Chain A
């Protein structure tokens, strides 16, 4: 039983990384119609930046938690203004290919500069070690990562549901054309939304840094799982992305614990089942003819 609770916590912590990143992916897809393949690379950049800030500028975890998302927001803004924007009018496949290419460039650039062996990063002071609850030992950092992700997801949820900006983003997510026809300059929101989505991936990277091997390739597997997350949650559904993020984290953790041989497959079996039963995902809206 105590092991089960530990796996659950690990799963929820990993789920937090998925939820945050998938949230960014969902918002970008919703407003721009772009499937951002480079989302995994941006998650990796978030982790690498944390490690570099610490090693070269002695900037610690707490500061990185603020600085890295801001830097990644700027990176996202540049990416949108310089590249993504020019392909928005074309078939969405073009931007998918663009961000795929960008992923290769980012990953190779990081390899060139920092090698392939992985960057060191310790669990920040005060979040190390374990706490004992009853008879169960729990990792303090996993608890923190999990709670932090939930808080950010709730904050983003409030931003989306309680503010006018959120209302416009929700409307544009549902139908950019219709929202334009109601007098809203959707284009004005495209750049900040893209930057925001990338910042969320970067934030997930910072959170993952103390618990993962920080390598240029750490985003490659991540992005594939992230795609499974958004398919399970329902493409374009923001709540779905968050719920499915945590769900996939849990399923993956149980898979690793109880069926290590099949750990990589379980998520995709889950995805297949969800798609068979509900083709538009858990929270996706059925297409109306």
Chain B
């Protein structure tokens, strides 16, 4: 960790200049009709400012990633959208409705589905109960049969305590839970973290499947390979700011440079 800070210390300034220079959004077309719009969002933890004037958007059926180092503010951004982090300024709208006064549970019922980085599986609930806990909030919600058909392992283990599943299975469960709920916009916090390649691949398939149904996905990801395999657009976050906004083609073309910049 410490070596990449020192290593790139001398070059960061120049890179930042070129990265955040004119035309930084080139190649990234905003979605046709935006589902989620975050405008001028700043967030604090006490006195410490962790997000500065962040503006991003996600359209239905679009997969958008937030890429950046640890501590860049990616998770805080997701938590702010979900309404779990309240010390913020700026606006967050979902389908044109301002969410400022809405609690986290109201936002969830409005269609935002949260898949936290620790998967958020309840140990004291069975797999089936984990799936059935949230209310169904949209007509497109997956019925339980479809969930089980798509994730046979969850059916097999439906009476197990949620946390007795493997890490990959818990990730499936966390995603299946918000699909059963019928969320229209998924906030996925590092779904590939710590999982075997074959499972990561499976998660990629799931993301493509739900994208096909018009569900929007805002994905926090440090795994750049995974990010470019599933996403349409990318926002690069550094020190709480959006420093770059790229379409997937540009992202691929500049991957090496970006990796260095991100210190990953």
Contacts and interface: CB of A to CB of B under 8 A. Distances in A.
Instruction: Give the secondary structure class of A's interface.
Output: helix
Given A167-B133, A288-B118, A180 B124 contact: no
B125 A184 contact: no
Given A167-B125, A174-B123, A183 B105 contact: yes
Interface stretch (B1-9, B108-116, B150-158): B108-116
Name the residue among B114, B132, B133, B177 with the largest chain A CB count within 10 angstroms.
Answer: B133
B122 A171 contact: yes
A186 interface: yes
Nearest to A288: B118
Report the interface size class on chain B: 20 to 34
Contacts of B108: 180-184
A179 B116 CA distance: 12
A154 to B, nearest CB: 17
Contacts of B109: 183
Interface in A152-200: 167-168, 170-171, 173-175, 177-187
A212 interface: no
A168 B104 contact: no
A238 B114 CA distance: 27
B134 interface: yes
A184 B84 contact: no
A187 B103 CA distance: 10
B118 A183 contact: no
B137 A183 contact: yes
Given A171-B133, A175-B120, A288-B118, A181 B105 contact: yes
B133 A174 contact: no
A180 B133 contact: no
A180 B105 contact: yes
A27 B51 CA distance: 36
Interface string A264-289: 00000000000000000000010010
A181 B177 CA distance: 12
Contacts of B133: 167-168, 171, 179, 182, 184
A86 to B, nearest CB: 17
B135 interface: yes
A174 B121 CA distance: 10
Contacts of B231: none
Contacts of A171: 122, 124-125, 133
A186 B129 CA distance: 17
B181 interface: yes
Contacts of A180: 83-84, 103-105, 108
B124 A170 contact: yes
Interface of B: 82-84, 103-109, 114, 116, 118, 120, 122-125, 129, 132-135, 137, 177-178, 181
22 contacts: A167-B129, A167-B133, A170-B122, A171-B124, A174-B123, A174-B124, A175-B120, A177-B104, A180-B83, A180-B103, A180-B104, A180-B105, A180-B108, A181-B114, A183-B108, A183-B135, A184-B108, A184-B134, A185-B103, A187-B103, A285-B123, A288-B118
